[in-house]
Amino acid sequence: MQYCEICSDDIETIAVLSERHLTHGEKIIKDINSRKDLKDYFGVKAVEDGEIVGFYTCIEGRIEFTLPHPEMYRIIREMIGDEKIITGDTLYVNPAYRGRGIASELARHITVMSRERGGKYFLTEAWIHPDGIIPAKKIVPFNGDVIYEKTIPRFYSDLYKYGMECPICGKNCVCGAQIELHRL
């Protein structure tokens, strides 16, 4: 398994995999494809036999969530002031490759890259399934020490308003999110 930084040639594959396996909707593909210039978008990919089998992407310098949550923006900005933040955007591992430590290795690499880019804080938004499972929970500790944490039930309930659909619930999403702010 090779781990390396994503490049603009990877963006279309990342968009397709994100839309197919994570949040559904044409908006996802458009949003990710709009980042092709990699201006404030970066990430690491896991590659085996020339195929991307996992990736972890981030947004540099901005607080971003899947959906607008102004109260969370305000809380986090008040905590960090003008310090540089990195927002974890998308973490994905091909189902056939799960359970091999790929997500943890991607998180280790992304943390190093975030520090190299001058990040002081790292923001994660971990999906909470209706049954309470948080798939990304095991890798979140690799993003630094948690200094703020908040669980928000039904965080994704408005996905449909933005032309998106939950991969678990469909149009009527009841999933929550675990928001964590880490010191890098």
Question: What are the sequence ranges of the domains in the chain?
Answer: 2-183
Closest CA to 125 of 52, 50, 67, 51: 67
Matching residue, tokens 């943890």: 104
Mean pLDDT of 72-84: 96
Structure tokens that stand for 27 in this block: 């908006």
| pLDDT given for residue 121 in this prediction | 97
Would you state the pLDDT for residue 78? 96
H/E element holding 45? strand 41-48
In words, the CATH class of domain 2-183 is alpha beta
Answer yes or no: is pLDDT of 53 > 80: yes
The 10s digit of each residue's pLDDT in 121-165 is 999 999 999 999 998 888 877 888 999 999 999 999 998 888 888
User: Which of 24-38, 81-95, 148-162 has the weakest average pLDDT?
Assistant: 24-38
Confidence (pLDDT) at 184 = 94
- Nearest C-alpha neighbor of 152 from the set 170, 131, 126: 126
Whether the per-residue pLDDT at 177 is higher than 80: the answer is: yes
pLDDT of residue 174 exceeding 80: yes
- CB-facing half-sphere around the CA of 3: CA atoms within 13 A: 18
pLDDT of residue 52: 96
In terms of phi and psi (left: phi > 0; alpha: psi -120 to 50; beta: otherwise), the region of 21 is alpha
Listed in sequence order, the residues at least 6 apart from 98 whose beta carbon sits closer than 8 Å to its beta carbon are none
- Distance between CA atoms of residues 92 and 53, nearest Å: 8
| Arithmetic mean of pLDDT over the chain | 90
Cβ-based neighbours of 140, under 8 Å, separated by 6 or more: 107, 124, 126, 146, 178, 180, 182
| pLDDT class of 119 with cuts at 50, 70, 90 | very high
Contact 164, 27 (CB under 8 A): yes
**What's the mean pLDDT in 166-176?**
90
